[in-house]
Chains A and B, each alone.
Chain A
Amino acid sequence: MNWSKNVLSTGFIMASALVLSACGGNGDTEGASPSDEGDANAGNDENISLTFMFRGGTDERDAYDLAIAAFEDENPNVSVNVIATDPDQYATQLQASISGNDVPDVFYVGQGDVMAYVDNGILRDITEDVENIDIDLDNIWEYGIDSYRYDGDKIGEGAIYGLPKDVGPFAFGYNKTMFEEAGIELPDPDVPYTWDEFIEVGKELTAEDQWATGLNVNWSLQSFVWSNGGNFINEDLTEVTVNTPEFIEALQYFADMQNVHGLTPSVEQAQTLDTYQRWMNGELAFFPVGPWDMSTFNELDFEYDLLPWPAGKTGESATWVGSLGIAVSEATEHPEVAVELAAYLSASPDAQQQLVDANIQIPNNIEVAEEWASDTESLPNNKQEFLDIVGDYGKNLPAAKTYTSEWYDEFFINVQPVIDGDMSAEEFVENIQPRMQDLLDQSIMQHEQSKQ
């Protein structure tokens, strides 16, 4: 009897030790969570510790380490535990910490995830907090703020649930050195090529081991569709509109660049990894340029600059702007400080400067951005194009405002035969539209369910 008691109690001790050590391990990697004892009652004088979770490459991590150190210097009673993940693991890790009720105080949130996170009570409504602190919202890109407004129904209106970490205009660039060597007039920075002109110039620039361009359909098709007056989805975000004539024409034009006009490297080699390297080798005349590319592209052997995307029927250039947000957890024990940290990372001129110096993003702060763009000496000279896209004509990616992106992904999973010239654009969209519509309906239904 005695024996089994001993065994049992020893068992319990070991079991609890196991559980405790599991928690301890957790605490070590995740940093102190807000629920740590003693922290809950922390007043202003006591030490506050926040957890900040984000993702990024080494450049970005270095810049953020500096920015966070500066924040801690300004707020001596605050210590920030940083959890940095690889980009491809971020979503999984964040969701795991949400399921485990251990949400970081401040963390990155993708544009497309705002609805789901708000509906499920994970993001804090920071509209009022933001007003109380020293941050001038009017001086941040409207696009950046609006991406994180949500009224329970639609993105873009209502309360603020996040501040932009960055705004990412997807601009179009050209190899200036190649133009000059070929003796072709440089593109006008303000007037886009028409589609016909683009083909013409492209043909002049295509030669042995040299092509006009090589575009990845996943990221570049949008520009052609929009500038031709088409879209993936209607205004109300209820109907998939890929089967309109404008859309079909744009998709066909996109595929024909390769299959009819020979403006791009051959079919098998047209994927982005290779065209990206061809561009960097100076073999392509035109290529998309995002702010995150600047650090790499500025080191190349040729000069490049930005131009508006070629314009279809509407005559207006179009492209998309991406964004990643910084949000505050609904469950945080220190909302004021957490919002301050989010605002600091998003908008403080010092923090912005660090990120801009690393050449990985354009400033969130409009004034700083305009000053940055006024420097037309450094590459790319036409930085203004980035600002025009963000401030003026850039749009959300089509799935950024729907509950899930499944309907949109369906298009790109299956589009390859059109790009390879094995199927006509018309046949493809007739086939894919009903399937996309079905998935969009499901997305709307999921949204309804999550609001309950």
Chain B
Amino acid sequence: MIESQASKLKKRSSVTLKRKSKLYKNEHRFALLFILPPVIGFLLFALTPLLISFYASFTNWNGLRQMNFVGLENYRRLLSDSYFWTTLGNTFYLMIGIPIGLTLSFLLALALNRRIVGRNTFRVIYYIPVVSSLAAISILWQWAYNGDFGLVNQALAYIGIDGPNWLQNTATIKPAIIIMTVWKGLGYSMLLYLAAIQSVPRTFYEAAELDGASPLQRLTYITWPMVRPVTFFLIVTNIIGGAQMFTEINIMTPTGGPMYSSATLVWYLWQQAFNYWRMGYASAMSVVLGILIFIITALQFHMNKKSSYKLD
């Protein structure tokens, strides 16, 4: 009795399995079809340029005519180019804004998660910079930082501080740009945090409350760990984005700032490629930058995996 039932079951399951597998195959083919466009797009518009610029980094290409192979010449030049190191340093310096921005946006998300008056209005206000054109924002902030007439210094004047000429001073130019990028990125990070905070199951808080956890404990032991994936995602994308900072610099400080104090690596690379006809050298810089970003991102993934855990 039991045996026959079992064999029946087996039969049935093998039938469904077979059927499933055929369906699976068909769907797999369709899936491939749908994947094809982005894959082709990637090959054409990302991988091909990547390989070309990798090759170009071994040539003395001027961006106008043929490439002549020069071996490691460009890379050797990089080592002794003091501006390369300055701009690389500046690029990382400007990333100080990332932890500041994440902290602020997390706090903001917490605040906007409460039932306060005009909460939707605030959400919109914080999100406006995200959807505005970066070029327009840069011009706006350039005015705001003007030494005499800028909004920033006028505001400082109310509390009796004589503000500096932000973008002309080697000591203030980097903080000025950091403030701007933090402001610009706030809305986006806030939105992601808000979504993450709202998707934390209420049962966790209820259980914690019953056990007598204080609000601070609930924040540090429930909310913060639960939004970790978002934090990780934001850190990774912000670092990649920060390493490629260009538009803000080019508009706010078209000459790279006094003593190159605001020039980022991508800005310098662009300068070399398009103003000094050194596309090959610029390619070498971009290859080095690409490798750096790759290493940093790989490290982050590694560290994230090590310390990740699950709430069971």
Chains A and B come from one and the same complex: yes
The answer to whether B36 and A15 have CB atoms under 8 Å apart is: yes
Contact partner of A277 among B40, B149, B250, B274, CB < 8 A? B149
Contacts A10-B33, A406-B276 given: A117-B255 contact, CB under 8 Å? no
Task: Choose the segment among B117-125, B163-171, B214-222 that binds chain A (4+ C-beta atoms closer than 8 Å).
Answer: B163-171
> Which A residues lie within 8 Å of B164 (CB)?
268
Determine how close the nearest CB of chain B comes to the CB of A124; give it in whole angstroms.
15
Question: Is B65's CB under 8 angstroms from A121's CB?
Answer: yes
CA distance A363 to B203 in the complex (A): 78
Inside 8 A of B65's CB, which chain A residues have their CB? Answer: 120-121, 450
Taking the complex as formed, is B29 at the interface, i.e. its CB lies under 8 A from any CB of chain A? yes
- Complex CA gap A409/B271 in Å reads 11
| A396-437 interface with B by 8 A CB criterion | 403-406, 409, 412-414, 416
Complex-state Cα separation, A449 to B277, whole angstroms: 12
In whole Å, how far is A178's beta carbon from the nearest beta carbon of chain B?
19
CB of B251 within 8 Å of the partner chain: yes
Beta-carbon contact of B148 and A116 below 8 Å: no
Determine if A446 and B62 form an interchain contact, defined as CB atoms under 8 angstroms apart: yes
Select which of A7, A278, A403, A413 is within 8 A of B259 by beta carbon.
Answer: A413
Does A450 lie within 8 Å of B165, measured CB to CB?
no
Nearest B-chain residue to A6, judged by Cβ: B29
Rounded to whole angstroms, the CA-CA distance of A19 and B37 in the bound complex is 11
Instruction: List residues of chain A with CB within 8 A of the CB of B255.
Output: 218, 409, 412-413
Complex interface: chain A residues within 8 A of B270 (CB)? 92
Taking a contact as CB atoms closer than 8 A, the residue among B40, B148, B169 that contacts A15 in the complex is B40
Given contacts A18-B37, A88-B254, A268-B147, contact A99 B165 (CB under 8 A): no
Contacts of A278 in B (CB 8 A): 148
The answer to whether residues A92 and B63 also contact, given A271-B168, A413-B255, A416-B259 and a CB cut-off of 8 A, is: no
B276 near A450 with CB under 8 A, answer no
Number of inter-chain CB pairs below 8 Å: 95
Q: Show 27 A/B contacts (Cβ-Cβ < 8 Å), sorted by A.
A: A3-B29, A7-B29, A7-B32, A7-B33, A11-B33, A15-B36, A15-B40, A91-B275, A95-B63, A95-B64, A98-B64, A99-B63, A116-B62, A116-B64, A117-B64, A269-B148, A271-B168, A273-B146, A273-B147, A273-B168, A277-B148, A404-B277, A405-B276, A413-B256, A413-B260, A414-B259, A450-B65
Q: A98-B64, A268-B168, A278-B148 are in contact. List 16 more A-B contacts (CB 8 A).
A: A7-B29, A7-B33, A11-B36, A18-B40, A88-B250, A88-B251, A116-B64, A120-B65, A218-B255, A268-B147, A277-B149, A404-B276, A405-B276, A413-B260, A416-B170, A450-B62
CB-defined contacts of B36 to chain A, threshold 8 Å? 11, 14-15
Residues of B within 8 A of A122 (CB): 64
A interface footprint on B33-65 (CB within 8 Å = 1, 0 otherwise): 100110011001000000000000000101111
Contact of A271 among B41, B165, B256, B260 (CB under 8 A): B165
Q: How far is the CA of A245 from the CA of B255 in the complex (A)?
A: 28
A196 adjacent to chain B (CB < 8 Å): no
**Is A274 part of the binding interface, using a Cβ–Cβ cutoff of 8 Å?**
yes
Is chain A's binding surface mostly helix, strand, loop or mixed?
A: helix
Which residues from B are CB-within-8-Å of A11? 33, 36
B89 at interface (Cβ–Cβ under 8 A)?
no
Residue B258 interfacial (CB < 8 Å):
yes
Residues of chain A within 8 A (CB-CB) of B259 are 413-414, 416
With CB as the reference atom, state the residue of chain A lying closest to B149.
Answer: A277
User: How far apart sit A273 and B254, CA to CA, in the bound complex (Å)?
Assistant: 13
Chain A min CB distance to B225 (Å): 43
A interface footprint on B119-163 (CB within 8 Å = 1, 0 otherwise): 000000000000000010000000000111100000000000000
Q: Which of A265-306 contact B (CB under 8 A)?
A: 268-269, 271, 273-274, 277-278
- Known A268-B169, A269-B165, A449-B60; contact A116-B277, beta-carbon cutoff 8 A: yes
Residue-wise, chain A 161-200 has the 8 Å CB interface mask toward B (1 for contact) of 0000000000000000000000000000000000000000
Whole-angstrom distance between the Cβ of A273 and the nearest chain B Cβ = 6
Contact code string B71-106 (vs A, CB < 8 Å = 1, else 0):
000000000000000000000000000000000000
The docked-state distance in angstroms from the alpha carbon of A268 to that of B169 is: 7
Q: What CA separation (Å) do A18 and B45 show in the bound complex?
A: 11
Shortest Cβ distance from A282 into chain B, in angstroms?
14
B41 in contact with A18 (CB, 8 Å): yes
**Closest chain A residue to B258, Cβ basis:** A416
